[in-house]
Structure 1
């Protein structure tokens, strides 16, 4: 009997690949780059399942050509790269990898927050350049964290995990979500406020929302004008949640103090002005980039494929088939 075929659009940790190889024929894109649309389609036309990345656009054109595919297992918690509604109409299962990357992503958000607040990247460059001659009372003065207000937009798994990390800094937590979250309020003495209030009152603002029509450019020119001049914005969610040109303007005009970014509006492109600013810390979409986290993501994606191709329910379905 012929074994079912699985295609992996980019090499993932071996633990996921080996799981799939125990059950199926597995083919992998071994090049260290995303596939073009045509390459993707030509590689999956005869496949039964696809383990895809957030850089793969899975839309109607792909579905039309990939008639045998029963599941697209997205190697990410977000799935804005996939037309889920169209998949549901066609009876195609979409899965993601929630839960296992909350700690890693919250840790990175906290790292960015500390790095911007204490001007770590600036100070590192200064020291490496041999400019450090002696201690100075005014050298690289940054922002305090203890007792300050942390505003969290999006109180899902990652938002809650970030709030947990603020406890040691005795921070006041404001959060904005589509609806109040009693668990968030009890665990962290957090207070639900509308978005504008959060922007006005927070010293640090961290974004943890999915990319949807509603969240596209949810932080733009109007929102930056509401923030404190000492505010720091952190984005580890999705790039288009922030209007990058408005961010540049806000930083240039000193409407806010700084920003830490893991994601970008036109990723992998980054606004050139952002690259030139010392009060911005930029990293290349590494929110979930720890060894254990990426291993766990690979296992979940593989197990979802194994379940579906064995006519069982997936572990983490995005749509209801």
Structure 2
């Protein structure tokens, strides 16, 4: 198939405003069924149609082997996400293919979800909602579902980037004491009184609530394992809105079962949507299906970032969000 217009292959459905804007720029090879496609299928579509643009999501693993099969016509891989560990950026760069993400537009939405997880896990919200939905609530009583008050507790933030700082800002309103570990210490203005820990293990030792906001890298994969969970204070709460691979599921589940970790609030999982089944059986987990950026406003802004990068490529300009 040939077209006089630039052609874009999309791995999934996008918000309606994004799809409309994309169709105004390109001939679009869409995925109307919106089920995950093998990366090899996406590459085949790019070759078959002589695509200029490939729009992907975090569920699409665009490895060096896949990039080697992309056509010379392809100029851009635009991921509808801030994370880009699912793309071999160096392999793309070696082929002359630009890779872009959507930074800076999902900070507030993800920080809101992190706070929701903190409150939901601390206050045993899943257990309470289950009682309502199963009609098993027997009424108010003084000892019913007593949770943890987060005011005055120490919040440890692992990764103090945009989202980590936004979580800190929200947590301060609840009276939490902020501690953090980052590759570099923030300025005093950015810290706003937060306490810096040069060593991650030092942070864990004071984290009554630990919130993960670091990227998934070979160094952070499996970071939160049994040894590091043992460093947390007894009855700590673990929150993850970053990437599932950062947590060793087997070790966290064991700590939750033993009560060593009081609760976990998780929005991301290794292998999602095929998550470790034992999470579903635990009463002390507050679980969400990767909703961090899932607001209409945020997803539309992410789409606008994708469209901006495509427009730049079509004008032979380097997108401002190029990796």
TM-score per shorter chain, which class? over 0.9
Could you tell me which residue of structure 1 aligns to residue 56 of structure 2? 52
Q: Which residue of 1 aligns with 2:45?
A: 43
Task: Specify the SS of the correspondent of 1:22.
Answer: helix
Task: Give SS of 1:175's match.
Answer: strand
Deviation string 1:248-306 (CA, Å, 9 cap, x unpaired) is 11112222101011111222211121110010111111111111000110111111011
CA contact 1:115–1:281 (8 Å) conserved in 2:
yes
TM-score (norm 1): 0.95
- The verdict on how the C-alpha distance between 1:89 and 1:26 changes in structure 2, with shifts beyond 3 A counting, is same
Query: The residue matched to 1:169 in structure 2 has which SS?
Result: coil
2:99 match: 94
Separation in structure 2 between the aligned mates of residue 153 and residue 198 of structure 1, nearest angstrom: 8
Is the counterpart of residue 283 in structure 1 residue 271 in structure 2? no
2:220–2:246 contact (8 Å) kept in structure 1: yes
TM-score, normalised by the number of residues in structure 2:
0.95
Task: Provide, for residues 216-257 of structure 1, a one-character-per-residue CA deviation record: whole Å limited to 9, x for no partner.
Answer: 111101011111221100001001101111111111222210
- Write the mapping of 1:112-191 to structure 2, written as runs, cut at 5 A: 112-183=117-188, 185-186=190-191, 188-191=192-195
**The residue matched to 2:139 in structure 1 has which SS?**
coil
2:230 maps to 1:225: yes
Deviation of 1:149 after TM superposition, in Å, equals 0.7
Deviates more, 1:1-10 or 1:164-173: 1-10
Report how far residue 108 of structure 1 moved. Answer: 0.5
User: Aligned runs of 1:1-321 on 2, under 5 Å?
Assistant: 2-45=4-47, 46-67=50-71, 68-183=73-188, 185-186=190-191, 188-193=192-197, 194-318=199-323
Return structure 1 stretches of 4+ with deviation > 6 angstroms. Answer: none
Structure 2's unaligned 5+ residue stretches are none
CA deviation map 1:59-92 (0-9, x unaligned): 2232222221111000000001000111111221
Structure 2 CA distance, aligned partners of 1:23 and 1:250?
51
Distance in structure 2 (CA, Å) of the matches to 1:260 and 1:21: 38
C-alpha RMSD over aligned residues: 1.4
SS of residue matched to 1:307: helix
Question: SS at the partner of 1:65?
Answer: coil
- Partner of 2:299: helix, strand, or coil? helix
| Gapped regions of structure 1 (runs ≥ 5) | none
